[in-house]
């Protein structure tokens, strides 16, 4: 009997080539699994691509809601931007896809689990670590194991009559509901400006002539509506924000990124909704949290993001940080008003249910109860040591 491998399949160059390699070079039966995390592909087409490759079985799993609720929302609570730029779109899907692969492998009684990651990237780390804790099956990664590169893959694809789409020939692209990542080709020279036709979600010219407002409602740190709509539909909510913000050219990121394994890479991202929602969330948090909480949480957010980027989604520390982060979201409930106009995003208003912003304190008008005279005593103590040290140094 022939052994069986379950493989994550997107229908793109890497995973298509991997299916063929598993069959031809490793002599395995192959079962393909496509996990729908909002990449908005034609899943019928992906299935027929898989069937044309003579796979033994194909699964298409709609995991959009799970992805948003269990992966994207926690990342919003953590204001997650790796190296202050990357919203983790790809990184967040990997543990979810790996968990699904392990489940299907069990169901299919498979002997191996396979993926199409190279040995240069982050995804191999993320897939392998989750797979190792979800399953005891050996992992095969043909592109890494056979030291393949895109040239060789394209040749292999051509030899086997596998059709690859135009853009996929030029770049390596990964997309889901939370963002689109583009690497490779002319982008490998970090001085090359990305060509406009690379961007599918974000306009680079011809913006609407009217500003668009987005009123985002948060409940305990989670976005629950936009312009009072999509209350029951978190997937639609994110799609809507992607479309609105994308049409104004919001959310293009050009980033020099430090990969887990120590390589620097140049990445282009399109993530209009992530740009809006993380900005809005950061803003409303400042209404709800004390100065100490805001400062300390920024460090926790950064560590959370680093762990998730690095493939440690199920690391106990990450779960501890989740508990901390959740407990800081109690009062993060209210509205943030965003204005977008011709490539520009501005937060122009916010209101929060249990806000620490107190107009009575801050007002320049004459209706404040704040006794300004108490401040001078505070300043004396606050600056006391620094003043003393400066005087000693200057021999005053
Ligand atoms: N650098 C990002 C990450 O590691 C995105 C990788 C996306 N892959 C791609 N083929 N474009 O999460």
Atom 2 of ligand 1, residue of closest alpha carbon: 90
Q: Which of 107, 241, 254, 268 is nearest to 175 (CA)?
A: 268
- The CATH code belonging to domain 179-352 is 3.90.1260.10
- Tokens linked to 265: 């890479």
Q: Is 322 a catalytic residue?
A: no
Name the phi and psi angles at 237, rounded to 5.
-55, -50
Mean residue pLDDT of the chain comes to 96
Give mean pLDDT, residues 359-381. 93
Please state which CATH number belongs to domain 4-170.
3.40.50.620
Residue from 133, 172, 265, 368 carrying the catalytic annotation: 172
Q: What is the 3-state secondary structure (H, E, C) of 324-377?
A: HHHHCCCCCCEEEEEEEECCEEEEEEEEECCCCCCHHHHCCCCCCCCCCCHHHH
42 is catalytic: no
Question: Nearest-CA neighbor of 128 among 142, 107, 114?
Answer: 114
The pLDDT value recorded for residue 165 is 82
The structure's pTM equals 0.96
Query: What integer pLDDT is reported at residue 94 of this predicted model?
Result: 98
pLDDT reading at 300 higher than 90 = yes
**91 Cβ below 6 A of ligand 1:** yes
90 Cβ below 6 A of ligand 1: yes
Our mutation pick for probing the ligand 1 site, out of 13, 125, 267, counting the most ligand atoms within 8 A of Cβ, is 267
Ranges of each domain in the chain: 4-170, 179-352
Q: How far apart are the C-alpha atoms of 318 and 307, rounded to whole Å?
A: 7
* Model confidence at 50: pLDDT above 80: yes
pLDDT in tens, 114-143: 999 999 999 999 999 999 999 999 999 999
Mean pLDDT calculated for residue range 34-55: 96
């Amino acid at each position: 009997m022939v052994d069986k491998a379950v493989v994550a399949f997107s229908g793109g160059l890497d995973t298509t080539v991997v299916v063929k390699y598993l069959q031809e070079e490793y002599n395995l039966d192959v079962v393909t699994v496509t996990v729908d995390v909002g990449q908005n592909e034609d899943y019928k087409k992906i299935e027929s691509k898989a069937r044309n490759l003579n796979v033994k079985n194909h699964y298409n799993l709609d995991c959009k809601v799970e992805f948003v609720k269990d992966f994207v929302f926690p990342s919003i609570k953590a204001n997650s931007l790796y190296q202050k730029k990357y919203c983790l779109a790809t990184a967040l899907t990997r543990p979810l896809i790996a968990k699904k692969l392990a489940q299907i492998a069990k169901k299919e009684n498979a002997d191996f689990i396979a993926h199409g990651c190279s040995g240069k990237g982050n995804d191999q780390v993320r897939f392998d670590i989750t797979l190792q804790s979800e399953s005891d099956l050996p992992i095969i990664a043909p592109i890494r194991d056979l030291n393949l590169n895109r040239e060789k893959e394209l040749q292999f694809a051509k030899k086997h009559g596998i059709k690859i789409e135009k853009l996929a020939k030029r770049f390596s692209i990964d997309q889901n509901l939370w963002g689109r990542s583009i690497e490779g080709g002319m982008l490998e020279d970090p001085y090359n400006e990305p060509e406009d036709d690379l961007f599918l979600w974000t306009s680079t010219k011809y913006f609407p002539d009217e500003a668009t407002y987005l009123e985002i409602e948060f409940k305990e740190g989670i976005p629950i509506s936009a312009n009072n709509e999509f209350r029951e539909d978190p997937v639609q909510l994110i799609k809507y924000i992607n479309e609105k913000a994308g049409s104004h050219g919001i959310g293009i990121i050009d980033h020099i990124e430090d990969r887990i394994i120590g390589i620097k890479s140049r990445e282009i991202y399109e993530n209009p909704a992530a740009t809006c929602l993380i900005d809005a969330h950061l803003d409303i948090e400042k209404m709800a949290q004390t100065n100490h909480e805001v400062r300390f949480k920024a460090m926790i957010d950064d560590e959370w993001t680093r762990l998730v980027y690095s493939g440690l989604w199920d690391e106990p520390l990450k779960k501890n940080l989740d508990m901390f982060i959740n407990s800081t979201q109690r009062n993060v409930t209210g509205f943030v008003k965003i204005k977008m106009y011709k490539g520009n995003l501005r937060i122009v208003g916010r209101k929060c249910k249990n806000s620490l912003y107190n107009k009575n304190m801050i007002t320049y008008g004459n209706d404040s109860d704040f006794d300004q005279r108490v401040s001078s005593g505070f300043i004396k103590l606050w600056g006391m040591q620094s003043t003393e040290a400066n005087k000693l140094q200057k021999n005053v």
